[in-house]
Amino acid sequence: MADSTPLAGQVALVTGASRGIGASIARELAQAGATVVVNYASSPAAAEAVVAEIQAAGGQAWSHQANVAEEEQVETMVKAVLEKEGRLDVLVNNAGITRDGLLMRMKSADWQSVIDLNLSGVFLCTRAVSRAMLKARSGRIINITSVVGLMGNPGQANYSAAKAGVIGLTRSSAAEFASRGVTVNAVAPGFIESDMTAELDREPILKAIPLGRMGQPTEVASAVRFLAADPAASYMTGQVLQVDGGMVMR
Ligand code: NAP
């Protein structure tokens, strides 16, 4: 029978875990036995609610505020995790934003803020955890990209460029870290029910999804749990796992 707590004794840091997909990933990894650090940027009450929920279910979690687009805040956060827990086994780079608009009218600030968080934030967090993971000769890094990073999307030049960049970053870091037992994979969700997609016009979206519905955050979280767990995904690295209802078939 499969181990129901494959992450027991391990520590997982999930960025942007106060809401949506990140909160679901935090719950899932806690259920798998990990102590989860719930990172958030500006929603302390929501982050504390996720922590309380995990604890009420018998799991272990605590929250840490940090803007993951800011180098110093990322370094401080990872240092705090290592000081408090003495280890860091799983990093899930989930925090992300959209600032949509047609390219011709896109403000440079909207381009830059999406690149800074959705791409550079993944780089900063990966670099910050790399020393400890490489030294430990084990670790799992899971980057949340998007199918938009594979196919592009009108109105999302900034977002799709960042998400495509995350796929390149995933593959390069996977190649660099493989010899030290650290794997790096990406999960590419399609359209998932969350605050990020709450305002979108559903009709054209649903037409493009063979399974005929939006995904749930838990359906992304279970893919992350698979990639985080040993031995389940121990021979996978540099891969992009799509959770998109069949939207992009390659
Ligand atoms: P969401 O509901 O809008 O939640 C975003 C999360 O990111 C929140 O926890 C937020 O924290 C956090 N965050 C925002 N700015 C941050 C910063 N500077 N530093 C640290 N955390 C920050 O989004 P979601 O739909 O769950 O998306 C999660 C990830 O999945 C993103 O990377 C997104 O691009 C990706 N994705 C989503 C979909 C979808 O359909 N929803 C599809 C493909 C990919 P606060 O609450 O503190 O602001």
Sheet strands side by side (includes 35-40): 60-65, 35-40, 11-14, 90-93, 139-144, 182-189, 240-243
C-beta separation of 10 from 34 below 8 A: yes
C-beta separation of 75 from 129 below 8 A: no
Torsion over CA of 106, 107, 111 and 116, rounded to 10 degrees? -160
Q: DSSP label at 208?
A: T
Per-residue pLDDT at 76: 99
C-beta separation of 6 from 202 below 8 A: no
From the CA of 97, how far away is ligand 1's center (Å)? 6
Per-residue pLDDT at 250: 83
C-beta separation of 154 from 197 below 8 A: no
Per-residue pLDDT at 213: 97
Domain annotation covers residue 91? yes
**Which residues line ligand 1 at a C-beta cut-off of 6 Å?**
15-22, 39-43, 46, 67-69, 94-97, 117, 144, 146, 189, 191-192, 194-197
Per-residue pLDDT at 186: 99
Domain annotation covers residue 2? no
C-beta separation of 64 from 117 below 8 A: no
How far is 23 from 50, CA to CA, in rounded Å? Answer: 7
Q: How much is the mean pLDDT over the chain?
A: 97
The answer on pLDDT for 1 being more than 90 is no
Domain annotation covers residue 6? no
CA–CA–CA angle 22, 53, 38 (5° rounding): 35
Name the residue among 131, 139, 144 with its Cα closest to residue 190: 144
Domain annotation covers residue 249? no
| The total number of structural domains that make up the chain | 1
In this prediction, residues 184-190 reach a mean pLDDT of 98
The residue whose C-alpha atom lies closest to atom 21 belonging to ligand 1 is: 16
Per-residue pLDDT tens digits for 207-238: 999 999 999 999 999 999 999 999 999 999 99
From the CA of 17, how far away is ligand 1's center (Å)? 8
pTM of the predicted protein model: 0.99
Per-residue pLDDT tens digits for 133-184: 999 999 999 999 999 999 999 999 999 999 999 999 999 999 999 999 999 9
Ligand 1 atom nearest residue 69's Cα: 18
Confidence class of residue 2 from pLDDT cuts 50, 70 and 90?
Answer: confident
* Distance from the Cα of residue 143 to its chain's centroid: 5
Domain annotation covers residue 3? no
CA–CA–CA angle 166, 169, 170 (5° rounding): 85
From the CA of 68, how far away is ligand 1's center (Å)? 11
User: By CB neighbour count within 10 A (0-12 exposed, 13-18 middle, 19+ buried), where does 210 fall?
Assistant: exposed
Mutate to test the pocket of ligand 1, among 148, 194, 247 (most ligand atoms within 8 A of CB): 194
CB neighbours of residue 150 within 10 Å:
18
Per-residue pLDDT at 234: 97
Range of the domain at 36: 11-243
Domain annotation covers residue 1? no
CATH number of the CATH domain containing 237: 3.40.50.720
Domain annotation covers residue 248? no
